[in-house]
Amino acid sequence: MRLFTYYPNPSNQQDTRVGIFKDASQKEWIALSEVDANLPATLLEIIATPSWMKRAKEIQAQANLSWKLADGIAFAPVIPKPEKIVCMGLNYADHAKEGGHARPDYPSFFMRVPSSLLGHEQPMIVPPVSDKLDYEAELAFVIGKRCHRLTKENALEAVAGYSIFNDGSLRDYQRKSTQWTIGKNFDQTGGFGPCLVTPDELPGAAHGLRIQSRLNGKIMQDSNTEHFLWGVVETLVLISEVMTLEPGDVVITGTPAGVGYARTPPVFMQPGDTVEIEIDGIGILKNSIAKEVAR
C-alpha cells in the first residue's frame, strides 16, 4: 500500500486526513475516511493498529471505488508530528570521505523536531540568517509498533513502511557546534513524503534501491541503499538498544556523496530552485525553495 497524509484545507494545517494511492503511479487516490468513516483520521493511528492496516488494504482492493486524480492534493509530512525523528549521519562511506571524516565505527545519530518537517510539493524555507541550505537524499522508515532491544531476527517486524526524506541542512549553523542538531532543525527544512510504502512492495529491508537527488533537473547524488554502512536491520538494533521506539517514530538513514557543501564551488539551494529526491520503488519527493516570509 501507498498511504499518505494530506490537508483537506491547506490553510488549516492542524486538520489532516489519510489517503491511499491506487498503485505505484500515484496518479489516483481515495480518502480512506470517505469509504469507511470508522477509520482514524491520522496515519499514525492506522499504522499502530494491525486491524486498521488490514482494513485499508481491503479498501484498496475494492472494485467499485471512485478514484480521484491526485492533482491538487496538499500533502502533509507522512507523519506530521512524530514523537521522535532519529537521524543518522555518515551512513555511506563516500559521504563520510567527502566531508573529511574517516570511515566511522558507529553512526553519528542526531534528532530532528516536528516543526522542521514539510510535505511533498511544499516549499523548503531559506531563513534570513543563512543562505547555505543544502540537500541530502535519504531513505526514511516509520515504526509501526512499540519496540525495545530488537534483534537482527525480529527488527523488520517493527517497520510499518518506507518513505523519502530530504534532510535539508543549514551548513554554517551545523558547524557552529560540535553537535549537528542546530543546523538540522530550522522550520520547514526537512522534506518528508510523498507517501508511506508498506514493506511488502519493496525488497527486504529496502535493500538495493537506487537513491538520487536532482537540483533544477541536474543529478547531484546518485547511489544505492546497498551501500549503507548500517542497513535498516542494524540501524534498528542500534537505536532500540538505547531507546524504546513507538508507532509513528521516524528513522532517517543518512545520505550518499554529492552534497552541495562538498562541491567546488559549493552549491546551496536558492529561492526559486526545485529539488527532487527519488528512490526506486517509493517515488519522487519534490519541493520548491522559498524565502522565509515575515511572521
Q: Using one digit for the tens of pLDDT, what is the confidence trace for 126-170?
A: 999 999 999 999 999 999 999 999 999 999 999 999 999 999 999
What SS3 class is residue 259?
Answer: coil
Give the number of domains in the chain.
Answer: 2
Together in a domain, 56 and 98? no
Q: What's the chain's average pLDDT?
A: 94
Query: Once rounded to an integer, what is the mean pLDDT over residues 22-40?
Result: 93
Together in a domain, 140 and 45? no
Together in a domain, 150 and 230? yes
Does the reported pTM lie above 0.85? yes
Structure confidence at residue 177 as a pLDDT band (50, 70, 90): confident
Together in a domain, 36 and 111? no
Among 69, 97, 115, identify where a domain stops. 69
Query: Once rounded to an integer, what is the mean pLDDT over residues 43-67?
Result: 94
Together in a domain, 98 and 244? yes
Give residue for cell 506530521.
80
The range of the structural domain enclosing residue 166 comes to 85-291
Together in a domain, 102 and 157? yes
Q: Does 76 fall in a domain?
A: no
Q: Which pLDDT belongs to residue 72?
A: 83
Q: Using one digit for the tens of pLDDT, what is the confidence trace for 193-229?
A: 999 999 999 999 999 999 999 999 999 999 999 999 9
Give residue for cell 484545507.
9
Q: Does 74 fall in a domain?
A: no
The beta-carbon contacts of 240-245 under 8 Å, at least 24 apart in sequence, are: 240/147, 240/148, 240/149, 240/150, 240/155, 240/158, 241/149, 243/84, 243/86, 243/148, 244/146, 244/147, 244/148, 245/84, 245/143, 245/146, 245/147, 245/148, 245/158
Is 63 or 51 the better-scoring residue by pLDDT?
Answer: 51
Structure confidence at residue 178 as a pLDDT band (50, 70, 90): confident
- % of the chain beyond a pLDDT of 90: 86
Q: Which pLDDT belongs to residue 214?
A: 98
Together in a domain, 55 and 150? no
